[in-house]
Amino acid sequence: MRRSGSVHGAGDESSQFVPADVRGTPLITLLTAVFGVLLSALMLYLMRRDHLQISHGLGWTLAILISSLLGFAPSLFDTIAVGIGVSYAPILGIALAIAALVIKALLTDIEISKLKTREQRLIQKVALLESEIQNVTGRPPIDD
């Protein structure tokens, strides 16, 4: 028999409610802040060990620091959203994340295009040098 006012196990002794707040701070805020700080530390480590170029690392670090800032001060994000006329603040974050991913994909494509052009020019230079070596020494070119 269902009691009135009992919704989704409310009042049921066997169901345990896990609070979303830890000392007044929402869990998602803490997770975002910790995630941003850890990723910032990882980026700095990768840049120091030369596993990540500084030009790439600065962009990632900036994105991660913004994420950390929003984790530590979510009301700032809400204020920005209201200031630019966005009625639902979380959608602003989603839109900014999509924009950042599109920009990152574009920059990656530009870099790949530059590298392919450079590779093609190097292949042509090697072919010219092999031809010149063959003319001077009379030896056939080295085949791989």
**Rounded-to-integer distance, Cα 68 and Cα 45, Å:** 17
Domain of 140 in residue numbering reads as: 88-144
pLDDT, mean of residues 109-137: 94
Residue 135 clears pLDDT 70, i.e. is over it? yes
Classify residue 1: in a domain, yes or no.
Answer: no
Classify residue 78: in a domain, yes or no.
Answer: no
Number of domains observed in the structure of the chain? 2
Work out the percent of the chain whose per-residue pLDDT is above 90.
Answer: 22
Q: Would residue 136 be called left, alpha or beta, if left means φ above 0 and alpha means ψ between -120 and 50 degrees?
A: alpha
Classify residue 58: in a domain, yes or no.
Answer: yes
Give the model confidence (pLDDT) of 56-99 as tens digits.
777 777 777 777 777 777 788 888 889 999 888 888 888 888 99
Is-contact 63 101, C-beta < 8 A? no
Classify residue 5: in a domain, yes or no.
Answer: no
The per-residue pLDDT for 63 is: 77
* 108 and 132 both lie in a single domain: yes
* 61 and 92 both lie in a single domain: no
Sign of CA dihedral 111, 113, 117, 122: positive
- Long-range contacts of residues 105-108, Cβ cutoff 8 Å, at least 24 apart: 107/59
* 19 and 64 both lie in a single domain: yes
Classify residue 82: in a domain, yes or no.
Answer: no
